[in-house]
Amino acid sequence: MRAIALHADVLVATSAVLQVNCVIVRGTIAVEEKGERNIETAGSAEQAVDPGEGIGAQKTAEVFVLDSPVLPDELATLPALLEQARFPAPSGLLATHGDWDHLLGRLAFPGLALGCAQSTVERLRASPGEAQRELRAFDKDLLIERPRPLALGSVQALPVPGRCAVGDYELELHPAEGHTPDGMAIVIPWARVLVVGDYLSTVEPPTLNDGGDRDAYLATLARLRPLIASADHVVPGHGPVLDPERALGVLEENVAALTS
């Protein structure tokens, strides 16, 4: 697994198989002490505070893990990766959509709730056990053994379009259907990072999985276009992180492939 930092508050861990990208995001939490509010900007260095001011220099943060790597040793390494980056333990998991290879976060953090779009919740409820069956088939083909089976546990529906708080910041959630009948893209505004799920990949052509729809796919690409323009980094579900220019180029290639 390869890990890179896109921002002081954003890490990307890429699995050695399927090149699945797991995004780890940190949001700073404001601290109130002695009637005064001390807010530290995300990603800034910790500031010393004059004791005479009567304000503590405490720093806290909240962390979410978006999507997941695939291999057992990669999942087992995630807690150590966060510790090495000086991120606190995560308080929640998010999945861009319901394909099995994006749902494995609970194998690394079994006590956390999984948040996803309402459309993904409906997909998971309509096909109970589907992700687990597909994971078992994948593991059987590659002779992979896992310490425990996948249990999705508590799945929380998030408002899409809408926002999701992480610390004192907010993630923007945008509909992203077409590749599958469900999904969301996630904007990390203060870091200028756009996480798009299984779109805009340079290693995977545009595909319509079971329940996917060409018109919905094209609508998602149109929805992503202005979001790309406001980003410094675009993280697809599979493959290299893109700069905005390359992401727009891939978008145009995908539109051409879907309309030819």
Half-sphere exposure for 74 (CA within 13 Å, toward CB): 23
Q: Domain ranges in the chain? A: 2-259
State whether CATH 3.60.15.10 applies to domain 2-259. Answer: yes
Question: Quick check: helix, strand or coil at residue 114?
Answer: strand
Query: What residues pair up with 66 in beta bridges, in sequence order?
Result: 23, 94
pTM: 0.88
The C-alpha atoms of residue 98 and residue 42 are separated, in whole angstroms, by 30
The C-alpha atoms of residue 78 and residue 109 are separated, in whole angstroms, by 9
Q: What is the pLDDT along the chain (260 residues), one digit of tens a residue?
A: 999 999 999 999 999 999 999 999 999 987 754 443 332 333 333 332 233 333 444 568 999 999 999 999 999 999 999 999 999 999 999 999 999 999 999 999 999 999 999 999 999 999 999 999 999 999 999 999 999 999 998 899 999 999 999 999 999 999 999 999 999 999 999 999 999 999 999 999 999 998 999 999 999 999 999 999 999 999 999 999 999 999 999 999 999 999 99
Tokens of 11: 């890490």
pLDDT value for 110: 94
